[in-house]
Amino acid sequence: MESDDSNMPEPEKTPAPSEQSSRLGIFARLRAYFFAGVLVTAPIAITIALAVWIIGYIDDQIVPLIPQRYNPDTYFQQYLGVDFGLPGLGVLVLILTITLIGAFTAGLVGRWIVRFGEKLLDRMPIIRSLYKLTKQIFQTVLQNQSNAFRQAVLVEYPRPGLWAIAFVTAETQGELHKLLERDTVNVFLPTTPNPTSGFLLFVPKEDIKILNMPVEDAVKLVISAGIVHPGDDLAGIDLK
């Protein structure tokens, strides 16, 4: 009796090795394209989002303080009939205001008003200390002749043999210099990934190695936890 082979299911065909490799190759390329797109679009999108947020925040704080007759948004509503807010108007007004204040305080009357205001602040115990500290920080950072936060260095921390990136802020002076009896520098050691917090160290000059990289590259290295590397220009020399 002959068997009926017509009703027998046909065996499944397995893809050839070449077909499997081609499929894997397509998926690998698509994945690589996707990550390449993320690397391109993510930094741009984050930068634009932060810029829009900062500009919008400043506009929300400054624009309501502008009188309506000087506010361009008023004329947009009056003549065009649209509720349109001019982006960046608050930022522009803030920059112009600060510039005008600086120009005014550079004159004789402005300096007299500043000195009179500082005398009033000197009579307020808590506010006096806060004002002096804030003023000293801004003067140190913004003055052209200052080297604060303009020198990236390596220091051994938290123990000998382990190195950390830090920033020289100034040379140690006053009582600390007399007590230490050595030529030391004030060093700010930032934390990762938040460089706004850290430790103030007083390190001997001979124990510091200066980095050739700019401060901006050193900050990137700290924030990225070592992922973003500035290059091989890390050769250090003893601080003189």
pLDDT score, position 232: 47
Share of the chain above pLDDT 90, in %: 16
Angle at 225 between CA 39 and CA 196, to 5 degrees: 110
pLDDT tens for 207-234 read 899 998 888 888 888 888 888 776 544 4
pLDDT tens for 16-37 read 556 556 666 788 888 888 888 8
- Counting other chains too, the contacts that 210-216 makes at CB distance below 8 Å and 24 or more residues apart are 210/151, 210/152, 210/153, 210/236, 210/237, 210/238, 210/239, 211/152, 211/153, 211/154, 211/165, 211/236, 212/236, 213/152, 214/152, 215/149, 215/150, 215/151, 215/152, 215/167
Q: What is the mean pLDDT of the chain?
A: 80
- For residue 239, pLDDT over 80 is answered with no
- For residue 74, pLDDT over 60 is answered with yes
Bigger pLDDT: 154 or 193?
154
Q: Are 216 and 209 in contact (CB under 8 A)?
A: no
Residues in the chain: 240
Q: Are 167 and 187 in contact (CB under 8 A)?
A: yes
pLDDT tens for 86-97 read 788 888 989 999
pLDDT tens for 140-183 read 666 655 556 778 999 998 888 899 999 998 888 888 888 888 88
What residue spans define the domains of the chain?
Answer: 24-106, 107-146, 152-238
- Which of 80-84, 125-129, 138-142 has the largest mean confidence? 125-129
Q: Are 211 and 153 in contact (CB under 8 A)?
A: yes
Kindly list the distances between the CA atom of residue 150 and the CA atoms of 141, 142, 169, 188, in Å, as whole numbers in the listed order: 9, 11, 8, 11
> pTM score > 0.95 for this model?
no
Angle at 61 between CA 59 and CA 63, to 5 degrees: 55
DSSP-assigned beta bridge partners for residue 204: 184
pLDDT tens for 99-109 read 998 888 888 88
- Give the residue from 180, 177, 171 showing the smallest Cα distance to 151: 171
For residue 182, how many other CB atoms are within 10 A of its CB? Answer: 13
Separation between Cα atoms, residue 182 and residue 174, nearest integer Å: 12
| pLDDT band for position 81 (cuts 50, 70, 90) | low
pLDDT score, position 236: 44
